[in-house]
Amino acid sequence: MRKITIKLLTKLAEKYVTTGAILILALFVYGIVGSIIIMHLNPIDAIYYTVITMATVGYGDFTPHTGIQKIFATTLALGGVGLLAYVFNIMLTSFQERMSEYSKGAMKLKAIKNMEDYYIICGFGRVGKVVFEELIDRNQNVIVIDKDEEVCENIEEHDNVVVINKDAIENDLITKLADEKCRSVIICTGDDVINLFTVLTIRETNPDAWIVTRASKLENIKRLRKAGANKIVSPEIIGGKDLYFESARPHLLRVTVRHTPHKILGEFKIITKHGCTLENIDYHLPGIETPLTRQIKTMNLLDGEKYINYLNTHDDQRQALGNLYKISNNIHSHLISGPDTNTFDNLIKDLESVDEIIGVNLSNKEIAEITKKEIE
């Protein structure tokens, strides 16, 4: 709110200075004309008399004698003093506001210089706000760049947060900030053209910068990738997945089990036997609420057999998977989609023959409490 107030005051100051200058010019013309007609001076002396009277210098070489001359001199002097004081006051106020802005700019640059590393968010719309909140929750240093001061007015700036209300590509701003101290540039605007140009601008001078950008339209993903973006996130794709899972939720089953790696294929045979799809696997570390997730998304038994053959021929991968099972105490969850609840009932019965089933449709918090007890 304060930023908007300063901006409005600056605009008003410029407006009032212009108005004041016009009024001073009008008073000056009034003084010259009056000096010629009322004071009976020639044009040169009229200009001279008008200046010294408006400035209240009054050398005394021209003295009003009649009543009308005295009234004229008085109005000219008072008008000059009032208008000059008014204009200079407005100019001083405007100057102070500008100096304040320059001082803030210097403080922002100093804050950025003192940051050991930081993330840059270009665009503070709905997506940018979510990214910002996630970074702040993790105590990260953040630089927000958005030329719209109004959308950033609620951001509280401090040592870890700096807001720059400018165009990211103006005066090579983004290329100067996307240096070795920058962990990532996150481009969140809803305009793919702006995103593309920003990616190109950064990549042109910062080949090692890590760039994550939003793509509003699917057809622009390839263009953004060719421009140099390392990661591209499309709300259309994410939204589509969310819509699918929400629509399938009545036919989604999360089964938390305990078994060793050698039972993977047997378990997968049961899932595919019932015409279900294994969407993903969550590995639960003891006492930690957020699991490690692997996306699977297959209902083809052949995929399971290929994976087992791959493990049998790659000792390092088999050992890595074994270590993951040991860390999680062999506890993990399967997200399974299927045609109906009856199928799920039969699926669970068959899984009980090969797995130790810990629970069905448990939350991460509930599973974390269970795994916590495992190590106590």
Query: Each residue of 284-328: pLDDT tens digit?
Result: 999 899 999 998 888 888 988 999 999 999 999 999 999 999 999
Q: Which of 103-112, 119-128, 163-172, 279-288 has the lowest mean pLDDT?
A: 103-112
Among 37-41, 60-64, 104-108, 323-327, which range has the highest average pLDDT? 323-327
| Amino acid in position 99 | M
Q: What is the pLDDT of residue 5?
A: 44
Q: How confident is residue 4, by pLDDT bands cut at 50, 70 and 90?
A: very low
Taking residues 29-57, what's their average pLDDT? 86
Q: What is the C-alpha to C-alpha distance for residues 252 and 280, in angstroms, rounded to an integer?
A: 11
Taking residues 233-244, what's their average pLDDT? 70
pTM, to two decimals: 0.51
Q: How confident is residue 8, by pLDDT bands cut at 50, 70 and 90?
A: very low
Q: What is the C-alpha to C-alpha distance for residues 184 and 325, in angstroms, rounded to an integer?
A: 32
- Catalogue the long-range contacts made by 223-229 (C-beta closer than 8 Å, 24 or more residues apart): 223/192, 223/196, 224/192, 224/195, 224/196, 224/199, 227/196, 227/199, 227/200, 227/203, 228/199, 228/200, 228/202, 228/203, 229/187, 229/199
Q: Which residue has the higher pLDDT, 239 or 251?
A: 251
Q: What is the pLDDT of residue 9?
A: 46
pLDDT mean across residues, the chain: 84
Provide the percentage of residues in the chain whose pLDDT is more than 90. Answer: 38
Query: Each residue of 66-116: pLDDT tens digit?
Result: 888 888 888 888 887 877 777 777 766 666 666 555 545 557 777 788 888
Distance of CA 339 to the CA centre of its chain: 41
